Amino acid sequence: MQRWKGLSAVLGVLLGASLGVTLTLLLLEGRWQEAIPLHLCSLSALAAIWLAFSPRQPLLNFLWYLGMPGAALALVFPAPAVSGLQALLDASYIVTHALILVIPSLCMARGMRPQRGKSRAMMGTLLVIAAVAGAVNRRLGTDFLFLAAPPAGTPLETVFAAGYAAYLTFLFAMMMTLCLIMDALAGGRKRRK
């Protein structure tokens, strides 16, 4: 058990360092507003760091339903920010998203299980995050959660071409579908009310 805790802590520190690299690059390039952790993967990385040091059921649920599917999509359809030090930013991007998958998987290997029946709660959480991100986007001209426009080079550009309402509807439907799939795959029992 001690070995698992040690490995988890090392991965948590590595994830923190990876986020630190991204944050430092954005700040050095004068892009402080992009460093605000309002992308789903930024929030998931923070949750994964916390989970690495203090396994908590709500953190695992958040990562299972939202963070892990988001990180997997980010690795399949990468859209890292552009930087003067692109290779370093790309490496940080890959490490961050991979560890969002690895840290909760390690917790599950140790016996923790995501709870079933949390898809609606997680979508509610995501809608609250989206409302905050949308307000920040309007105020700062950012594009957190890709609510303003899709990431370049991804299939979401095709959906966006159908119109903004279709794009937002698709984002919601996609995340709801992913949550329902993760709910069906969850290993924990649904808690009774």
Total tally of structural domains belonging to the chain = 1
- Domain residues for the domain of 163 are 2-185
Tokens of 133: 């991100």
Q: Tens digit of pLDDT for each residue in 138-172?
A: 999 999 999 999 998 889 999 999 999 999 999 99
| pLDDT over 90 (residue 95) | yes
Residue among 23, 26, 12, 18 nearest 63 (CA): 12
| pLDDT over 80 (residue 109) | yes
DSSP state of 84: T
Q: Tens digit of pLDDT for each residue in 27-49?
A: 999 888 888 888 999 999 999 99
- The verdict on residue 43 lying in a domain is yes
DSSP labels for 100-162?
Answer: HHHHHHHHHHTT--PPTT-HHHHHHHHHHHHHHHHHHHHHH---GGG-SSPPTTSTHHHHHTT
Q: Tens digit of pLDDT for each residue in 13-22?
A: 999 999 999 9
- The verdict on residue 193 lying in a domain is no
Which of 9-23, 41-55, 62-76, 77-91 has the least mean pLDDT? 77-91
Q: What's the whole-model pTM score? A: 0.90
Contact between 71 and 48 under an 8 Å Cβ cutoff? The reply is: no
| pLDDT over 70 (residue 193) | no
Tokens of 67: 């963070």
